[in-house]
Amino acid sequence: MKPGKLFNRQTIPFIVGYILISIVVIVLIFYRLITQYRDLKERGFKELENISSTKTQSILNFINIEKFKLQQLVNSEFFRDKIFQAFNQKINIKEFYDFLNDVRFIKELEDILFIDPEGKIIFSFKVSPYNIDSITLNEFNRQDESKVFIDVLNESSGIIYVYQTPLYDDIDNSKKLIGYIRFQYDAKNTILPQLEHLEPFSSREVLLIKKVGSQLLYLSYLRKVPIQPLMLSETIAENSCWNQISDNKPICNFEELDYAGVPVLAVIQSIPGTNWFLLNKTK
């Protein structure tokens, strides 16, 4: 058969039909793949949201339990009497150390600080009394005196979890702020273990973060990069999730490259009562 005879009037309709059927099949396969991808993505986001909600509740439970214990301690009459004496510098330092060593919960702490309204340290277990006068804290609650301050900070001793509460004295039927009490824990043994989510062969990662200006600051250990907490930050200008999160909508999901440059599905959820967010992601 001559080559030209392949495209006669009788074969052209079959060829056109074959091409059209092939196009339809390709379109159907492509549509099926897109649908499967969307389903997988929706399931992935749903799983991440469930894990994020569980971890957020775990962190809140931990915070509230510690908060209750410390508030009970601070509000107890015997403790407040000693505290007021300390703030007024009318107590023997050695006696005060002995007193605090006998108090429950104190032994769980890495340190306890008494701070005046300007941020100057009055008392610390770790700082020598001879050096205290020269130390003023850079990070403590100045903006709202009645607000409890909770955060994760990087100190010379390591990564600490901080719970700070204001202390008032009643003078002439009015409250006067006399200073703050800051309880400091080793974050590695307290708040950070609340993030652990162990799944063999899983790419999921649960991270504690906070927004500092236009930067996202990682407060927890990273699986893919050997960097200490609070040592890695990245810009968040291109992530619209930050503008969507509010009290009415505390959770948002998105797709982007993570800190290691790997494409991920991710969920951000705010943690009530703190300036923290939970970032839960998977490849």
Most confidently modeled of 107-111, 143-147, 257-261?
Answer: 257-261
Query: Among 124-133, 137-146, 176-185, where is mean pLDDT lowest?
Result: 137-146
Of the two residues 87 and 132, the one the predictor is more confident about is 87
Query: Among 5-19, 79-93, 126-140, where is mean pLDDT lowest?
Result: 126-140
Mean pLDDT of 247-273: 83
Of the two residues 267 and 37, the one the predictor is more confident about is 267
Query: Among 56-60, 100-104, 152-156, where is mean pLDDT lowest?
Result: 100-104
Inform me whether the pLDDT recorded for 267 exceeds 60.
yes
Inform me whether the pLDDT recorded for 203 exceeds 60.
yes
* pLDDT band with cut points at 50, 70 and 90 for residue 159: confident
Name the one residue in this structure whose structure tokens are 């610390």: 124
Look at residue 232 in the predicted model and tell me its pLDDT.
Answer: 84
Question: For the whole model, what pTM was predicted?
Answer: 0.73
Sheet of strand 149-155: strand arrangement = 121-124, 111-115, 174-186, 158-171, 149-155
Domains, the chain, with CATH or none: 39-62+197-282 (3.30.450), 76-189 (3.30.450.20)
Mean pLDDT, the chain, as a whole number? 77
Inform me whether the pLDDT recorded for 136 exceeds 70.
no
Look at residue 1 in the predicted model and tell me its pLDDT.
Answer: 46
Inform me whether the pLDDT recorded for 142 exceeds 60.
no
| Residues 207-250 pLDDT 10s | 888 888 778 888 888 887 888 888 888 887 666 777 777 777 78
Inform me whether the pLDDT recorded for 84 exceeds 50.
yes
Look at residue 70 in the predicted model and tell me its pLDDT.
Answer: 80
Q: Yes or no: say if 135 and 127 are a contact pair by the CB < 8 Å rule.
A: yes
Percent of the chain scored above 70 by pLDDT? 79
